[in-house]
Structure 1
């Protein structure tokens, strides 16, 4: 059993815990929250013994060897580095950091302390993502990657009434690109690497984050078109278009159906069976990487995280989207 401590007491933490427990190889023995009330309530609900409101005490705990972080984006670097300095392996929710400077500090801490650091981006670990990778060989030279993820945020209703919740708060390094656009960006980084050129546009909200946006990326012999939104909904599928055929993906964040459509009109279903809780695959990958004493995951590598973050950094630069984390000096210790 790999013993986990968790940072974050929200629904996504509960979803990950359920997935990890499904593997039969994990148990949860610690939880950190900034408030005693939330720590106690979450621990009681899930039968967790260790309850912490001090990050330092949590990081130093001997009740667990690994940490799952699902706190606001702006907290990731500080919390991950604190835990890795105490020898803890870290699985950190996407996006792993606010910017590339924070990401590099996290990677450096992982390397210096000989621990595993992995970005919890589930898409690229799903069986149907493997179906996409295998399907690339069937469509000839790829000419366009097109990804769309538009999902109206339930928190946008409050925003429209004048209340800015975490999802639209730049202090927490949030917004449409960081929350949803990353699901379009990360698979692109894994499949095709670094682009040669990036053009970005966005609708900026008065709170200081982007509500929606689009990216046009240029590669030597193809282009990528990315669209994402938290203030409108999209029902468009995503596609990878080749000279001999097209892969049609129902949902880029969580592919459930993958079709190969050839130029001759034939359609082949490439979809593979997947677990109902799709977070189980990232849980398995992380747990097995720890057990095998690996310092990086097999797919969600440090380099893929670097490429994705570099794309988002440049996109935000062009949009004029600046987080407080961008203006603070990162000293490698997560302190600002």
Structure 2
């Protein structure tokens, strides 16, 4: 399957690196705003075609799939154009910056009979999938704490007066959209939609959030999420029941999930490869394309949409606005 790429950053590099481990994956074309950058990326990954015109890129008959890793605010327009040219599309998280945009992409996927999938790697990694399917019993769930804190290499520049894309709200970026989404998505996968949300956040001068947290109320328990681009946190995420608890090493890319009883005895453990954490999402996407599915049975459109709904509500409460 030949892929075209929108976004010539490190995450696209990782996607291609992981794709090299998947049979049938072929990096083929790239779109960039400048010839210089497009040609650089072509040489770096031995691609065949380069484009600086998005419409011409999407109209090319020479590749079937598009990977979108541009700034969040551009995902919707770029994905919609690709879909209308009957390209299968895998979009970096968050797939879109507001709920209505992804609703439109889902409808377009059905209309043009193409696969559209959010590249939420964590929910497709084998430890998470195996844990989810194992139906672990730790008694009545009473509490969950999912978090992702990662001090951004761009934050030092921000403190010195240099604002890069990571802290620009006009690009749909910030801690919630870049990191917090990783805490929300697995909660949606495991527990469904919360009944109520209470959120707090710390905004930078740019209008983007540097960090935040929220309490998600469910019928019989609460889940807390927290995320930050301005500090680190290395402790595991947890799910706590009346008869035991679960520890997840890294919620953004689980490689080790342990299940304990209330006395601390290890009951189950789910482990996976930490080297190629994007490999499974590529396999799942290509499988959907080959089976003529418009969506994944794991990263479904409904789960992506519900994740964005939660993000929308958190943004509303903390006052982060996007120009849409």
Q: Same fold (TM over 0.5)?
A: yes
**2:230 is the alignment partner of 1:231:** yes
> 2:229 & 2:310 partners in 1: Cα distance?
19
Q: What does the per-residue CA deviation read over 1:224-280, in whole Å, with 9 as the maximum and x for residues that have no partner?
A: 100110011112210011111100111111112211121133124512232511100
Change (3 A) 1:135 1:234: farther
Partner residue in 2 for 1:333:
none
Deviation at 1:135, TM superposition (A): 5.4
> 1:192 & 1:98 partners in 2: Cα distance?
22
Q: Return 248-257 or 83-92, whichever deviates more.
A: 248-257
Partner residue in 2 for 1:53:
52
Equivalent pair of 1:135/1:260 in contact (CA under 8 Å):
no
Equivalent pair of 1:249/1:259 in contact (CA under 8 Å):
yes
Partner residue in 1 for 2:90:
91
Partner residue in 1 for 2:247:
248
Q: Return 259-268 or 59-68, whichever deviates more.
A: 259-268
**2:256 is the alignment partner of 1:257:** yes
Partner residue in 2 for 1:279:
278
Q: Which runs of 4+ in 1 moved over 4 A?
A: none
Q: Return 134-143 or 255-264, whichever deviates more.
A: 134-143
Deviation at 1:147, TM superposition (A): 0.4
**2:137 is the alignment partner of 1:138:** yes
Say which SS state the counterpart of residue 136 (structure 2) adopts: helix
Q: What does the per-residue CA deviation read over 1:139-181, in whole Å, with 9 as the maximum and x for residues that have no partner?
A: 1221212101110000000000011100000110000000000
> 2:283 & 2:135 partners in 1: Cα distance?
25
Partner residue in 1 for 2:212:
213
Q: What does the per-residue CA deviation read over 1:100-138, in whole Å, with 9 as the maximum and x for residues that have no partner?
A: 121112112212111110000100000110243145522
The two structures, once aligned, show a CA RMSD in angstroms of 1.1
Partner residue in 2 for 1:328:
none
Equivalent pair of 2:141/2:240 in contact (CA under 8 Å):
yes
**2:25 is the alignment partner of 1:26:** yes
**2:221 is the alignment partner of 1:222:** yes
How many residue pairs get aligned? The number is 324
Listed as ranges, the matches of 1:1-336 within 5 Å are 2-134=1-133, 136-274=135-273, 276-325=275-324
> 1:256 & 1:275 partners in 2: Cα distance?
6
> 1:23 & 1:216 partners in 2: Cα distance?
39
Q: What does the per-residue CA deviation read over 1:12-58, in whole Å, with 9 as the maximum and x for residues that have no partner?
A: 10111111121121101110011111001000111111100000000
> 2:241 & 2:184 partners in 1: Cα distance?
19
Equivalent pair of 1:199/1:215 in contact (CA under 8 Å):
yes
> 1:184 & 1:136 partners in 2: Cα distance?
20
Say which SS state the counterpart of residue 264 (structure 2) adopts: coil
> 1:314 & 1:79 partners in 2: Cα distance?
24
> 1:272 & 1:157 partners in 2: Cα distance?
35
Say which SS state the counterpart of residue 22 (structure 1) adopts: coil
Q: Return 98-107 or 303-312, whichever deviates more.
A: 98-107
Say which SS state the counterpart of residue 270 (structure 1) adopts: strand
